[in-house]
Structure 1
Amino acid sequence: MPDPTPAATPLRSFGRFELRALLSKSSRSLIWRVFDARHGQELLLCMPRDKPNSPAALEHWLRMAQAGARVQHPNLAAVFEVGQVEAWPYVAYDRALGETLDERLARQPAPLPIDAAGWVAQLLEGLAFAHEAGHAHRDIQTASVLIDAADKVRLIGLEVAQEVFPANVDYSTVTRRAVRESAEEDVLCVGLLLNRLLGGRPVLEENDLQLVVQQMQPVGREMVRLGWETPHPIPDPLRAISNRATDRQTRQRYHLARSFWRALDGWRQAASYDDGGPVVLLLDKLQRVGHLPTTTTGMHRFTGGSGLEAQHASALSELVLKDMALSLELVRRVNNALRQAGHQGGTILNMQRAVQMIGLEGLQQAANALKPWPGPLQPVAAEMLRQLMARVTQAARVAQALRPAGYDEEVVYLITIMQNLGRLLLQYHFPDDAQQIRQLMQPPEPTEEQPNPPSMSEQAAAYAVLGCDLDALGAAVARHWGLGDELLQMIRRQPLDAPVHTPRSDTDTLRLTCSLANELVDALGLPEHRRRAGVEAATRRYAKALGVGLREVMDAINPGAQRPAGGGAPAPQSEPASSSLRERLSGRGPSSS
């Protein structure tokens, strides 16, 4: 084995290689910069820290390394040679592929977060491909990552730090399990590497990431979270992704390199472009399978019947509103038609007006364009979507009951639904991601240090899974549908960590009323012992701004109770509400009757 300590003589050799510099020494592997006189070029030699303990182990090592060398991906460095010197095996790479990440950080110690995320995303792409091919790395370090002048990242050292088994072990029976477990450890080490890049210092002041893993919970006692004193401000979505990757609860972490990559790439796309990452995937799904499946049995038969012409617009709008997918489809079609006709007004949300504008034929076309329930969903995912739609419908009815006097009930109903558009579309098109978000929102198991551990918020969980929040998904689709800027403002819920101020316009009043309704229904979904407190907390947040009290809220939640005449809570008295927005949203402008 080549001695990693400095020798008395300036020239050291390992077989035919001249050893020039030790670039990395971890508990599992070594990386040397060497000169190959035979080929007249510099190479990087990766080798295990310990020599294989038997001829069978050496044979197994060489066989696995050669198989790993055959895995080709743009983010996996091409292997120059697999060989051995006196039973010490090695894998060689061309030095011209780039400098190690260690060397880059010595020159550029604090990369921008978007650059760091880009490097790690490339690393994860190559690692995911290797894992899916049945291989693991087992010793990812900053020196295991090569980066060239164009910021292209390649991983070196695949299958170098292999598992050490007893000399007489049957490798065919243990390799598969070992690879699966090692792959999860690889993903954790990439999370530590991201923490290192964003934090600007070694994690736990330790350069060897394998030693960091041994100190982390649940094996050790240390927690690894991204600190607040960082070289650059870290966006909340990226912070959530980084912290999930190193969470103290193993069940909360990324278990697959592909899942980690999707979250990180989603944030990168969203940070770099207006519509990217998960938004692009979602818009593609909308083109192929629509936004939501219809829930009305017999809708196609009804729209094909002769009785439709005789129905009054109010009766038709009531029928349409019972089907969430059809309601959204009419909003999309009517406002898209207005935009194509050069209409510069607001968004039409009154369903009676929409039915009048689109006509019998247009309503039939809209209904026929929808997928029947449950679309491509499997039964479990379909049930989750049904439950979500029921909660959204409940919130819409609560918002109608709380709306200030004079506001169109259909408009309030649809704005409340649109505030949940991202959640609905995620559950329909990406049910696995929706399930991941729900799991991350479950509180972790209590410990002695944290007997009542906080749960992850929906926003943080969405960041960790998708790289963007759910409101951003809904807003991107609404923008894609050509809905107006006023509606885009109203469909963003009031942030839970932001104070609620008195509304200054109809837009603010509608947004806050629907936000309150959504928060109330979220509170009703809490465990029973926390439900009342959740409702009261939401009421206190909005009481002054909207002029509502607990009595009005309880009446709205329990529609069977007696309500004051006039419907809804009184409008705030601080400013008179303008009628212009109400007219534009309902389609009843000054020239309409």
Structure 2
Amino acid sequence: MSASENPQSPTGAASKPAPMRRFGRFELRALLSKSARSMLWLVFDPRLGQELILCLPRTAPNSPGALAHWLKMANGVARIQHPNIAHVIEVGQVEQWPFIAYDRALGETLDERLARQTAPLPVEAADWVCQFLEGLAFAHEAAHAHRDIQCASLVISSTNQVRVLGLEVAQEVFPATLDFNAVTRRAVRESAEEDVLCVGLLLHRILSGRQVLEQADLQAVVQQMQPLGRELVRMGWETPHPIPEPLRAICNRATDRQTRQRYHMARSFLRALDGWRTAVAQDQGGPIALLMDKLQRIGHLPSTSTALLRVGQSSAMERQHTSALSGLVLQDMALSLELLRRVNNSLQQQGSARDGTVLNMQRAIAMLGLEGVQQAARALKPWPGPLSPVQAELLKSLMKRVQHAGQIAQGLRPAGYDAEVVYLITVMQNLGRLLLQYHFPDDAQQIRQLMLPPEPTADNPHPACMSEQAAAFAVLGCDLDSLGAAVARHWSLGDELLHMIRRQSPEAPVRSTDSDADLLRLTCSLANELVDALQYPEPRRQASIEAATRRYARPLGVGLREIYNAVHPAAPQAEDEVSAPPDHLTGREGGDDAMPVGPMAAAQKDAQKAEADVSHTAPAVAGSVPAPKASALRGRLASLPSSGRSGGQ
């Protein structure tokens, strides 16, 4: 009997039963799966008196040395003990055919489960794949690979416990003369990356409810995908259940056409998928729970200045005015956030949270007192905390960009709104990014890499890059705004601030509003978008600034001239423009993110150029007049009493 082809024959007539098919001592009962590399048979073992699952290679080893190597690797897998790796009953051979036997009681294959029930919910699918990745990652770390992951490689028990089946069954085919003591198989890393790609296809198969590229063999799908073939594998929109956006991003990254964009390790794939699954199961799970633990141990951010500690050791600070102390505190982002956390948490404990969230630093200092400020400064870890020098430089660069965004937001704020409130809301809109860079610098680097545009090809000369939200979903399983919002909620900063620190989505339209909270949120969102635009090369930078201006022009009553005056603080402002930010916040620090600011003549030339551009590039924003007038919204805001525009005070 040929072991490579043994289809189950139909039951014969009662008078002439069908001949029993055998493989050695095993009675063959059903072919569970067959691919180009391996087979799974349901068999009965008369010696043990139970059903087993037999995994065999599709092609027998071509030499005694290859057979010995196969048995050696299979016996190595049999020694691995993990809850998500199927326990091996026996490793043996029948003539030249080696096999690995598993207990049928472990459960049914994924093929069998999908055949007998409707499509599972996305959360259930994620749970299955997470368990599979747990076992696969453990095997990879033990220097073993699968090399032929199929739907039948995932076995599900009656209690939904998942195990990996068939490790090391499909091995490389080498020439018969190869010395296996010198070169035994392909590098484990390369095989592991292919395994992870197949797990992504497995997740795609479960969520979509249909075969990937109409192929049952996932190895055949890999051969058709780029860069080996020309096919793209993306999660469609016609699925049995709605697919949440984070899960869609994770699945699409796993099968991305660019190999550098995919998951290269099972642990990375597992972390993203498990982060989303846990966050869905409980409000503060996954990366959020891990972040909360780090906040308790090492704080939110390291202090960038020791000035307050030096001054606090003498009586000099006692003679400082509150506004001067506020300027000193706002220079240290970690201390600013710590004071906000302490004062609002104190209000929450005293039952005074109904008075609103405190966002003004001078008011926070007045409420905590000098001793409270000194205690907050001593509680912070000194710079750079646990970061390496390279990671510290990246965090410092991010802080500079956030400070720059706060300065721009102050220049754009509507008349009557507090400058410190606008600055701190802008910082809070970047809280998730700051915490990610400090506590998870490797994940932050991975997100930046995913946001880089892929290499252009002849078929796709202008490839689109992954958005920050999609990249965060693919790495963490949640977006960065959710990280920041979870921490703000933990700090008792109030529902109004939780709404204001949600940045406006770049893809969503910006609508006019009369709400103070929405007006501040949009102003700070525009400032953050402008700072992001300043990172682009010059041609794209100009287009991005003009696009952001057009989106926010009507709701905020701003034009290109006001945008350029805010980005270039040195440019002269008209009498009806808003006042400049405080001196302690207007200092620009040089960096890659700063726009070049020349002397006064150059600033005037930029302003004139902006006015000329308005007349022919953005008529809907500023019209054809050389100096845009204040909008009706600004006039209405100016006529309101100042107490109604306190921004949460």
Residue equivalent to 2:648: 585
> Residues of 2 paired with 1:138 and 1:300: CA distance?
59
- Aligned pair partner of 1:155 in 164, 173, 181: 164
Separation (CA, whole Å) in 2 of partners of 1:109 and 1:299: 63
Q: Does 1:174 align with 2:236?
A: no
Residue of structure 2 aligned with 1:400, choices 410, 426, 436 = 410
Find the counterpart in structure 2 of residue 292 from structure 1: 301
Letter in 2 for 1:560: A
Deviations 1:269-325 (A, max 9, x none): 122221111100111111111111111144322222221111111100100000000
Counterpart selection for 1:327 from 301, 322, 336: 336
TM-score by length of 2: 0.88
After superposition, residues 444-463 of structure 1 pair within 5 angstroms as 444-463=454-473
Q: Give the corresponding residue for 2:315.
A: 306
Match of 2:521 in 1: 511
User: What residue ranges of structure 2 are gaps of 5+ in the alignment?
Assistant: 11-17, 580-629
Aligned ranges 1:341-380 → 2 under 5 Å: 341-343=350-352, 344-380=354-390
Q: Distance in 2 between matches of 1:516 and 1:174?
A: 58
Which residue is equivalent to 1:572?
634
Amino acid at match of 1:461: A
Displacement after TM superposition at 1:254 (Å)? 0.2
Amino acid at match of 1:567: V
- Contact 1:478–1:488 under 8 Å retained in 2: yes
Distance in 2, Cα, partners of 1:577 & 1:263: 48
Deviation, 1:441, is: 0.6
Provide the rounded CA distance (Å) in 2 between the counterparts of 1:481 and 1:173.
59
Deviation at 1:251, TM superposition (A): 0.4
Q: Could you tell me how far 1:381 is from its partner in structure 2?
A: 1.1
Following superposition, the deviation at residue 580 of structure 1 comes to 5.5
Residue by residue over 1:298-356, the C-alpha shift from the partner in whole angstroms, topping out at 9 and shown as x without a partner, is: 43222222211111111001000000000000000110111111112211010011111
Structure 2 residue matching 1:428: 3-state secondary structure:
helix
Change (3 A) 1:546 1:299: same
Q: Which residue of 1 aligns with 2:429?
A: 419
* Contact map agreement 1:163 1:178 (CA 8 A) in 2: no
Label 1:124 to 1:573 Cα distance change in 2 as closer, same or farther (>3 A). farther
Distance, in Å, in 2 between the alignment partners of 1:227 and 1:45 is 35
- For the residue of structure 2 that corresponds to 1:572, the secondary structure is helix
The match for 2:209 among 200, 208, 219 is 200
Q: In structure 2, how many angstroms separate the alpha carbons of the residues matched to 1:584 and 1:224? A: 47
Q: Secondary structure at the match of 2:93?
A: strand
- Deviation above 4 Å: which 4+ runs of structure 1? 568-571, 573-584
1:555 and 2:565 correspond: yes
Mapped partners of 1:16, 1:460: distance in 2 = 53
Secondary structure (helix, strand or coil) at the match of 1:388 reads helix
Equivalent residue number for residue 401 of structure 2: 391
Q: Which runs of 5 or more residues in structure 1 are unaligned?
A: 587-593
- Aligned residues of 1:545 and 1:572 also touching (Cα < 8 A): no
- In 2 relative to 1, CA 111–578 (structure 1 residues): closer, same or farther, beyond 3 Å? farther
Counterpart CA distance in 2 for 1:200 and 1:427 is 38
Match of residue 338, structure 1, among 326, 347, 362: 347
2:97 matches 1:95: no
- Which AA in structure 1 matches 2:6? P
Question: 1:56 aligns to what?
Answer: 65
Structure whose alpha-carbon radius of gyration is higher: 2
Q: Indicate if the aligned counterparts of 1:398 and 1:556 stay in contact, CA closer than 8 A.
A: yes
Of residues 24, 30, 37, the one that matches 1:15 is: 24
Q: How far apart are 1:103 and its partner, in Å? A: 0.2
Q: CA RMSD in A?
A: 1.6
Aligned-pair distance for 1:503? 1.7
Are the equivalent residues in 1 in contact too, given 2:415–2:634 (CA < 8 A)? no
Equivalent residue, structure 1, for 2:272: 263
Q: CA deviation at 1:109?
A: 4.0
Q: 1:126 to 1:579 in 2, by over 3 A?
A: farther
Deviation at 1:6, TM superposition (A): 3.9
**CA distance 1:508–1:92, shift in 2 (3 Å):** same
The DSSP-based 3-state class of the residue aligned with 1:229 is coil
Q: Tell me which residue corresponds to 1:273.
A: 282
Partner AA of 1:180 in structure 2:
R
Separation in 1, partners of 2:526, 2:378: 35
Which amino acid counterpart does residue 75 of structure 1 have in structure 2?
Answer: N
d(CA) in 2 for partners of 1:422, 1:123: 30
Number of the residue aligned with 2:502: 492
Q: Deviation at 1:189?
A: 0.2
Shift of 1:578: 7.0
Farther-moved stretch of structure 1 (159-168 vs 123-132): 159-168
Query: Does the CA-based 8 Å contact 2:134-2:270 persist in structure 1?
Result: yes
Distance 2:100 2:121 in 1: 32
The aligned residue for residue 590 of structure 1 is: none
Report if the CA contact (8 A) 1:130-1:136 is conserved: yes
| Kept after mapping to 2: 8 A contact 1:347/1:484 | yes
TM-score, normalising length from structure 1? 0.96
Report which stretch shifted further, 30-39 or 81-90. 81-90
- The residue type equivalent to 2:478 in the other structure is C
**Map of 1:250 onto structure 2:** 259
Taking the aligned partners of 1:578 and 1:36, their CA distance within structure 2 comes to 87
Structure 1 segment 455-494 matched on structure 2, within 5 A: 455-494=465-504
Match of 1:429 among 439, 445, 459: 439
How many residue pairs match? The answer is 586
Quote how far apart the aligned CAs of 1:262 are.
0.5
Q: CA deviation at 1:581?
A: 6.2
Match of 1:589 in 2: none
For residues 214-260 of structure 1, the C-alpha deviation after alignment (integer angstroms, 9 at most, x for no partner) is 11110111111111111111111111111100011100000000000
What's 1:529 paired with? 539
Report the counterpart of residue 591 of structure 1 in structure 2.
none
Note the C-alpha offset of 1:177.
4.6
Q: What is aligned with 1:4?
A: 6
What does residue 37 of structure 1 align with? 46
Going from structure 1 to structure 2, the CA distance change for 1:96 and 1:354 (only over 3 Å counts) comes to same
Q: Answer yes or no: is the 8 Å Cα contact 1:114–1:268 preserved in 2.
A: yes
Match of 1:215 among 219, 224, 239: 224
How far apart in 1 are the matches of 2:644 and 2:421? 11
* Cα deviation, residue 504, structure 1: 2.3
* Amino acid aligned to 2:139: A
**Is this contact kept in 2: 1:216–1:223, CA < 8 A?**
yes
Given the alignment, which residue of 129, 140, 148 partners 2:138?
A: 129
Structure 1 579/273 Cα, relative in aligned 2: closer, same or farther at 3 Å?
Answer: farther
Deviation at 1:175, TM superposition (A): 4.2
Cα pair 1:348 1:584 within 8 Å, conserved? no
Aligned residue for 1:174, secondary structure, equals coil
Contact 2:417 2:646 in 1 (8 A): no
Q: Distance in 2 between matches of 1:458 and 1:184?
A: 24
Contact 2:32 2:152 in 1 (8 A): yes
Instruction: Map Cα deviations across residues 71-92 of structure 1 (whole Å, 9 max, x no partner).
Output: 1111111111111111211111
Distance in 2, Cα, partners of 1:201 & 1:111: 12
Tell me which residue corresponds to 2:246: 237
Q: Does the CA-based 8 Å contact 1:399-1:513 persist in structure 2? A: yes
1:186 Cα deviation after fit: 0.2
- CA offset at residue 165 of structure 1? 1.5
- 1:173, distance to aligned residue in structure 2 (A): 3.9
Do 1:499 and 1:541's aligned partners in 2 also have CA atoms closer than 8 Å?
Answer: yes
Distance 1:172 1:466, change over 3 A: farther
For the residue of structure 1 that corresponds to 2:489, the secondary structure is: helix
The verdict on how the C-alpha distance between 1:180 and 1:170 changes in structure 2, with shifts beyond 3 A counting, is farther
Aligned-pair identity in percent equals 70
Aligned-partner Cα distance in 2 for 1:173–1:127: 26
What displacement does 1:525 show? Answer: 0.8
How much has 1:204 moved relative to structure 2?
A: 0.4
Q: Which amino acid aligns with 1:209?
A: L
Please report how far the alpha carbon of residue 172 of structure 1 lies from its aligned counterpart in structure 2 after TM superposition.
4.2
Counterpart amino acid of 1:369?
Answer: A
Q: For residue 578 of structure 2, what is the amino acid of its counterpart?
A: G
Report if the CA contact (8 A) 1:294-1:372 is conserved.
yes
